[in-house]
């Protein structure tokens, strides 16, 4: 509990975190740990990140910290990489929103003003790191009480209107921390969603917050929290798949796929305007393709998995699909489809020929389509366990396939 954590307890816990010892050594009396970092230290949990506020310019602390630094001049923020540790720094500031959903206008301000601009009381706590403030907690009214009670409370009634991404953070923190939403805060959240708050925010900002939710250790719990708050319905992202199907898809996915991309595909499956929505989501081209394929093809692939039986049929069906689409399709198609998806992802996708096109050409096959036909024939034989994984056996089957292709094409060339 917060009241039981002494100054030395908090500072000792900080030193055990990667980057914590270096931060304490570099800090001066203007340097404060803030936000979720302090919240988690008070809960005797390991913070996921180190967030620092400096009452003044950042330059001196950055020079003392060293490491690899990335600066963002607009908001006077910076990120420092110290080995595996990342420390995010910001100059203490106040802010105002010109209109709902806008990025805030900011200006330097004391620590107390910086805390009052934050999302929830439990994140509006700072820990002094040096000088007379070392080990001292500074916080908004009610912050420690809310933390002890395990509840999320906004700092002012316009919070969700000013920045609707806080609605997504509310759902995320509730699921991660297992906190309750304070009744007035829940009322404000419900009113903001019903009033179309999300329409004032760019797709990129909403997508960034949703990705953070889907990266959490319990992403399906995050989806439940977003659903219960009404956020998924407002964003037209209610998944057609049941939680059990989503769990099965994640179990099928394996290490080659991305949990967040699979679940993004599940949230978008069956929805309209997918390409437009994904174009604004700040994804890489590769990520966009994988989400789009999972969303657009999962139902079709689930049906086709019911018909594909042999290894070669499964390979022909799934070889061009990303693992996220395959796992989601397998989960949606029932137990047989799930087993076939698992078989492809864990066994069949790893089967490769020991021979290549050059081996066929060296054996007398003319360059052209017959080479590809021969290699496909050999791979199908391997996938269906008709031949052993042996280069000579593969070559003989490939030559037979290439000759068959040449015979088939011969009448087409006849005058």
Give Cα separations from 268 to 153, 278, 288, 397 (angstroms): 31, 10, 12, 43
pLDDT tens digits for range 251-289: 999 888 999 999 999 999 999 999 999 998 989 999 999
* Sign of the alpha-carbon torsion through 311, 324, 307, 313: negative
pLDDT tens digits for range 21-61: 999 999 999 999 999 999 999 999 999 889 999 999 999 99
Which pLDDT score is estimated for 1? Answer: 43
For residue 164 the two structure tokens come to 């609707």
3-state SS class at 302: helix
pLDDT tens digits for range 133-142: 999 999 999 9
pLDDT tens digits for range 221-232: 999 999 999 999
pTM: 0.90
Give helix 323-332 / helix 285-305 axis angle, nearest 10°. Answer: 30
For residue 250 the two structure tokens come to 């994640």
For residue 234 the two structure tokens come to 């407002």
Q: How many helices (H) and strands (E) does the chain have?
A: 22, 11
Domains annotated on the chain, with CATH: 2-148 (3.30.460.10), 150-238 (1.10.110.30), 241-350 (no CATH), 357-413 (no CATH)
Question: What value, to the nearest 5°, has the Cα angle with vertex 405 and ends 399 and 411?
Answer: 140
CA distance linking residue 180 with residue 344, whole number of Å: 42
Give helix 259-268 / helix 243-253 axis angle, nearest 10°. Answer: 140
3-state SS class at 68: strand
- How many percent of the chain have pLDDT more than 70? 97
**Position 237 pLDDT exceeds 60:** yes
CA 277 vs. chain centroid, Å, equals 17
Which pLDDT score is estimated for 130? Answer: 96
Identify the H or E element spanning 247: helix 243-253
Whether the Cβ atoms of residue 266 and residue 352 lie closer than 8 Å to each other: no
Which pLDDT score is estimated for 411? Answer: 63
**302-318 burial code (b ≥16 CB/10 A, e <16):** bebbeebeebbbbbebb
pLDDT tens digits for range 311-328: 999 999 999 999 999 999
**Position 339 pLDDT exceeds 80:** yes
CA distance linking residue 174 with residue 279, whole number of Å: 29
- The more confident residue out of 398 and 75 is 398
CA distance linking residue 415 with residue 406, whole number of Å: 16
Which pLDDT score is estimated for 72? Answer: 84
* DSSP conformation class of 55: S
DSSP lists the bridge partners of residue 151 as 180
CA distance linking residue 227 with residue 220, whole number of Å: 10
Classify strands 50-54 and 85-91 as parallel, antiparallel or unpaired: parallel
Which pLDDT score is estimated for 409? Answer: 78
3-state SS class at 96: strand
Which pLDDT score is estimated for 196? Answer: 97
Per-residue pLDDT band for 413 (boundaries 50, 70, 90) equals low
Which pLDDT score is estimated for 96? Answer: 92
For residue 223 the two structure tokens come to 């989806």
Whether the Cβ atoms of residue 324 and residue 287 lie closer than 8 Å to each other: no
Which pLDDT score is estimated for 6? Answer: 67
pLDDT tens digits for range 185-216: 999 999 999 999 999 999 999 999 999 999 99
Per-residue pLDDT band for 412 (boundaries 50, 70, 90) equals low
pLDDT tens digits for range 64-119: 999 999 998 777 899 999 999 999 999 999 999 999 999 889 899 999 999 999 99
Q: What is the average pLDDT across 323-337? A: 96
**Sequence-separated (6 or more) residues with CB below 8 Å from residue 156:** none
CA distance linking residue 386 with residue 320, whole number of Å: 23
**Sequence-separated (6 or more) residues with CB below 8 Å from residue 228:** 171
Which pLDDT score is estimated for 242? Answer: 96
Q: What is the average pLDDT across 245-254? A: 96
Which pLDDT score is estimated for 5? Answer: 61
Q: What is the average pLDDT across 363-367? A: 95
**Position 414 pLDDT exceeds 80:** no
């Amino acid at each position: 509990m917060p009241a039981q954590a002494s100054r030395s307890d908090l500072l000792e816990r900080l030193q055990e975190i990667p980057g914590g010892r270096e931060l304490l050594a570099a800090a001066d009396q203007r340097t404060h740990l803030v936000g979720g970092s302090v919240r988690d230290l008070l809960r005797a949990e390991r913070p996921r990140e180190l967030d620092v506020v400096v009452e003044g310019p950042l330059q001196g602390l950055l020079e003392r910290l060293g490491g690899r630094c990335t600066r963002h001049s607009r908001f006077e923020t910076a990120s420092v990489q110290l080995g595996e540790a990342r420390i995010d720094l910001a100059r203490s500031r106040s802010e105002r929103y010109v209109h709902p959903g806008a990025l805030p206008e900011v200006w330097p301000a004391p620590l107390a003003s910086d805390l009052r601009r934050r999302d929830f009381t439990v994140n509006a706590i700072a820990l002094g790191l040096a000088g007379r403030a070392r080990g001292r907690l500074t916080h908004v009214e009610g912050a420690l009480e809310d933390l002890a009670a395990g509840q999320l409370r906004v700092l002012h009634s316009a919070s969700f209107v000013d920045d609707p991404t806080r609605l997504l953070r509310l759902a995320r923190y509730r699921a991660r921390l297992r906190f309750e939403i304070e009744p007035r805060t829940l009322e404000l959240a419900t009113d903001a969603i019903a009033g179309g708050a999300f329409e004032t925010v760019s797709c990129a900002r909403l997508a960034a917050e949703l990705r953070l939710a889907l990266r959490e250790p319990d992403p399906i719990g995050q989806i439940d929290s977003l659903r219960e708050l009404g956020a998924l319905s407002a964003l037209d992202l209610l998944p057609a798949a049941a939680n059990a199907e989503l769990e099965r898809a994640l179990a099928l996915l394996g290490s080659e796929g991305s949990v967040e991309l699979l679940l993004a595909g599940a949230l978008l499956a069956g929805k309209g305007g997918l390409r437009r929505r994904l174009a604004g989501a700040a994804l890489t081209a590769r990520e966009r393709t994988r989400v789009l394929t999972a969303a657009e093809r999962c139902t079709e692939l689930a049906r086709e998995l019911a018909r594909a039986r042999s290894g070669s049929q499964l390979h022909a069906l799934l070889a061009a699909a990303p693992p996220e689409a395959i796992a989601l399709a397998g989960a949606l198609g029932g137990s047989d489809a799930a087993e076939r998806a698992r078989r492809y992802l864990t066994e069949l996708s790893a089967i490769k020929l020991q021979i290549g096109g050059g081996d066929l050409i060296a054996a007398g096959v003319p360059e052209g389509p017959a080479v590809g036909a021969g290699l496909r024939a050999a791979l199908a034989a391997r996938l269906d366990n008709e031949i052993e994984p042996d280069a000579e056996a593969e070559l003989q089957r490939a030559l037979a396939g290439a000759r068959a292709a040449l015979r088939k094409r011969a009448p087409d060339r006849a005058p």
